[in-house]
Structure 1
Amino acid sequence: MTRSTDGGLRELYDEAVASFGRRVAGVAANQWAAPAHGGTVRELVAGLAGAQARAAALLGGAAVAPSGDPAADWAAAAAAARSALAAPGALAREVPMDGAAVTAAEYAARLTVCLTVAIWDLAHATGQDDHLAPELVGFALRRVAPEDQPVPADPQRRLLDLLGRPAIRRAAVDPEVTG
């Protein structure tokens, strides 16, 4: 794989999108209403699909209209966002965020952190593998952890603690019906 000149941000973002997408594909039909951090699995996936659709729109990419199918909406929005962020010069553009203009690179970095934690949230809610890629954990920790703290023995646990995710495993809805 050829590394981009943006310090690896595109690769990390792509990895986070792909990892979340694998977890979305693993959601069984009877798990969409299961509780997840901040709502249900359906709401979690819809929220991340909306964030990806917004990223695509902010960067002049393809418009993505929700279909009501969370897995399909995620796939369409993620593809549009990845394409928009991969366009030449896209990461240098300014986009509005939280009432201010930030670079698309900053926006993508924040999306990458959100996706990293959402991977765990979705896996945790649906009984899937909740181990996060070490490079995603390291990136997210550098963005959210105080700089003067030493690297813990379990960086993933440190990240999840910082972001208020429980250490205990939640009982997942049994995925008897796949879909």
Structure 2
Amino acid sequence: MNLDVRDAYRRALDDFGQKVHLVRPDQWHLPTPCSDWDVHTLVNHLVRECLWAPHLLAGRTVAEMGDALDGDLLGDDPVKAFDRAAAAAVLAAYDEGALGRVVHLAFGDVAGEEYLCELFADALIHTWDMARAIGLPDRLDPELVDACAAWFAAVEDSYRETGVIGERRELPPDADPQSRLLAAWGRGR
């Protein structure tokens, strides 16, 4: 990735957060492109990931955390819940040494930098999901799209094999970079 992953992650969370701030009260239960997820569930997912980040980047294991971050984490102020969780995650990402630390995930250990790439990619793709769900323009930051595509090319097959993403969508040969990235993640128009 030619962009510092911490900066990419922060920017992707900022873009997602801008959309969270625009969710109207009547939109929290709208469906998203993520099957079986509504807007509330999507935001809760990102909040959960953000809350996990400081713990995992500090060396804690999934087993140590147990079910502490299960359930509804949004409470009665989903926007504030997201803002706080995102701020904590970004702070942890920029912690000295975070990129080189070993992060203990459920499927095995990875370097902090790889974990942040995964978080960045998830936040970026879910930004598109959120925009589509609440009727906002769905163009993603082109620099973030390029950075994500460069990283994702090496891991796409493993993501698909584990069932984390859907089947790759077919595209015309002249598809733009964002459409190609979304198709790789099983999304598209």
Whether TM exceeds 0.5 here: the answer is yes
1:57-102 Cα shifts (integer Å, max 9, x gaps): 21249xx973513222211110111111111111111111242111
Aligned pairs for 1:85-104 (under 5 A) are: 85-104=93-112
Identity of aligned residues (%): 36
Structure 2 CA distance for aligned equivalents of residues 73 and 14 of structure 1: 16
Aligned pairs for 1:118-137 (under 5 A) are: 118-137=126-145
Aligned pairs for 1:70-109 (under 5 A) are: 70-109=78-117
Long gaps (5+) in structure 2: 60-67, 156-172
The two structures have a TM-score, normalised by structure 2, of 0.76
1:53 corresponds in structure 2 to 51
The one-letter code matched in structure 2 to 1:16 is: A
Aligned length: 158
Residue 152 of structure 1 deviates from its aligned partner by 5.5
The two structures have a TM-score, normalised by structure 1, of 0.80
Matched, 1:161 2:169: no
The one-letter code matched in structure 1 to 2:85 is: A
Which secondary structure state, in structure 2, belongs to the residue aligned with residue 35 of structure 1? coil
Matched, 1:40 2:62: no
Residue 34 of structure 1 deviates from its aligned partner by 0.2
2:152 corresponds in structure 1 to 144
The one-letter code matched in structure 2 to 1:96 is: H
Distance 1:140 1:7, change over 3 A: closer
Residue 7 of structure 1 deviates from its aligned partner by 4.8
